[in-house]
Amino acid sequence: MTNRLFHRHYVMTLLINLLLFITFYLLNASLPLLAAKRFDVSQAALGWVVTSFILATVCSRPLIGHWLDRFDLKRVLLISAGLFTFMSLLYVFVLPLESFVYLIVVRVLHGFSFGMLSSSISLAVTTLIPKPRQGEGMGYFVLSMNLASVLGPVIGLSLIQQEAFFFYFVLVALLAFLSFVLMVRLPLESQHVPNRIAFRLHQSLFLSRPLLLLATVLAGVAISSTSAFISLYADSIGHVPYASYFYAVVALGMVAIRPLAGKWFDQKGPGFVLFPSYFLYVIGFVLLGTFPSLIGLLLAALIIGIGSASIFPGLQTVMLTYAAPHQKGKAISTFFLAYDSGFGLGALMLSSLAAEVGYSKMFLFCSLIVFTSGLIYWIFNRRNQSSHEKNLAS
């Protein structure tokens, strides 16, 4: 393989990932609102529309990690994509059946298939990126998720406001089907080792880098705060019409820094990119907590966008560098398990904190969480540098 990054199949994975995460963010941001309009259930019950999906996603991670290392990558990817497409189609029956319980069942099945597919495509893209450009390639890959985080909620909320409920679910199925068609055309190299080892939970997790996983969990907690609470925070400071601008400016910051950050990551090393990124991410949360104004909201969004753009793909790339070829599936699924756990726990923990102390102090607390994540990564980096130097000396 040459060092060319933007070849046809790599670009296809970017489009697949964009479609996949548009579906994810479209449903998570707007489906609770649709459920509130269509079903006579309590506010607490509506929370399960998102929670059931996330829990199912977390449960799928160890299993798909085991399969990715045991079976052919292309086969696992297509099975995952087929299940995801089928589960996406089941939403169409939510309206005629008029059952909230059925909706939750579909969310559980959809969440499990999403966990399988997102892990599979994240491993698949690494086989299509030249090794000297892994940091840059993963950065653009994650950027497609970031763009989906802006497009998904806008599309979903627009359809809900127009009460185009049937088309809403048809669109979900079409996006999944289109991503499946594109995946069929991907040429993938499998890295599995044929064996008949049965699934064991502890053997299906990549736990040899616990500090890196802990840094990832804390990063997930911080990211959950801006994903779940910005609209409520904007409402509390009297700028709710501009909440969507926050996400647009975050995406602008990510797009602006991504071409440079990816190249620096590969040429100068992870620390050169991750340490400044952590610093900016901390500053962004401090601004959110101390300047409750429209200017403060948008300035914080820009800094958070620039700072957070490299943290998720950077930690993911570092994790993969410590995994042997036959452990890549295990490593990628464990990384997502750590991130999903942080994201889910963060939403629960921070909502309680915000109820007690307010959103401004909650975001200040998030700055400490980000700082702690960065500090843990710094310790991890120092320890591994020391080990490397000792190996060279010996």
The reply to whether the predicted model has a pTM over 0.95 is no
Instruction: Report the distance separating Cα 83 and Cα 90, nearest Å.
Output: 11
Give me the CATH number covering residue 320. Answer: 1.20.1250.20
CB neighbourhood size of 371 (10 A): 18
User: Of 54-63, 200-209, 319-328, which one has max mean pLDDT?
Assistant: 54-63
Instruction: Report the distance separating Cα 288 and Cα 41, nearest Å.
Output: 34
Tell me if 78 is assigned to some domain. yes
Structure tokens given for 46: 């509506």
**Most distant CA pair in the chain, distance:** 70
Average pLDDT over the chain, rounded to whole? Answer: 83
CB neighbourhood size of 390 (10 A): 9
Instruction: Report the distance separating Cα 122 and Cα 140, nearest Å.
Output: 12
pLDDT of residue 51: 77
Structure tokens given for 282: 């901390």
Same domain, 158 and 79: yes
Same domain, 164 and 17: yes
Same domain, 137 and 259: no
Answer with the one of 161, 190, 219 that is the final residue of a domain.
190
Same domain, 18 and 127: yes
Answer with the one of 145, 160, 190 that is the final residue of a domain.
190
Tell me if 199 is assigned to some domain. no
Instruction: Report the distance separating Cα 156 and Cα 257, nearest Å.
Output: 28
Mean pLDDT of 332-339: 83
Tell me if 334 is assigned to some domain. yes
Question: b vs e for 197-232, b when ≥16 Cβ sit within 10 Å of the residue's Cβ?
Answer: eeeeeeebbbeebeebbbbbbbbbbbbbbbbbbbee
Tell me if 360 is assigned to some domain. yes
Q: Name the pLDDT band for 251 (thresholds 50, 70, 90).
A: confident
Q: Name the pLDDT band for 112 (thresholds 50, 70, 90).
A: very high
Q: Residue 67: which domain range?
A: 1-190
pLDDT of residue 203: 54
Same domain, 153 and 244: no
Same domain, 120 and 228: no
**Secondary structure letter of residue 293 according to DSSP:** S
Q: Name the pLDDT band for 154 (thresholds 50, 70, 90).
A: confident
Structure tokens given for 237: 């400071």
Same domain, 323 and 234: yes
Same domain, 12 and 160: yes
| Closest alpha carbon to 341 in 61, 114, 138, 101 | 61
Answer with the one of 163, 190, 217 that is the final residue of a domain.
190
Same domain, 64 and 211: no
CB neighbourhood size of 158 (10 A): 12
Tell me if 196 is assigned to some domain. no
DSSP assignment of 165-197, as one string?
HHHHHHHHHHHHHHHHHHHHT-----------P
Same domain, 37 and 78: yes
H or E element that contains 383: helix 359-393
3-state secondary structure string across 208-262: CCHHHHHHHHHHHHHHHHHHHHHHHHHHHCCCHHHHHHHHHHHHHHHHHHHHHHH
Q: Name the pLDDT band for 343 (thresholds 50, 70, 90).
A: confident
Same domain, 73 and 170: yes
Tell me if 198 is assigned to some domain. no
Residue 276 exposed, middle or buried by CB count within 10 Å (0-12, 13-18, 19+):
middle
pLDDT of residue 282: 96
pLDDT of residue 7: 85
pLDDT of residue 390: 47
Split into its structural domains, the chain has a count of 2
Would you say residue 232 has pLDDT above 90? no
Would you say residue 111 has pLDDT above 50? yes
The answer to whether 311 and 219 have CB atoms below 8 angstroms apart is yes
Which residue's structure tokens are 């000396």? 393
pLDDT of residue 279: 96
Share of the chain above pLDDT 90, in %: 27
pLDDT of residue 285: 95
Tell me if 197 is assigned to some domain. no
Same domain, 93 and 17: yes
pLDDT of residue 388: 45
Question: Comparing 272 with 385, which gets the higher pLDDT?
Answer: 272
Structure tokens given for 181: 């068609």
98: left (phi over 0), alpha (psi -120 to 50) or beta: left
**Secondary structure letter of residue 113 according to DSSP:** H
Q: Name the pLDDT band for 368 (thresholds 50, 70, 90).
A: very high
Residue 388 to residues 48, 272, 379, 383, Cα–Cα distance (Å): 46, 18, 14, 9
Tell me if 273 is assigned to some domain. yes
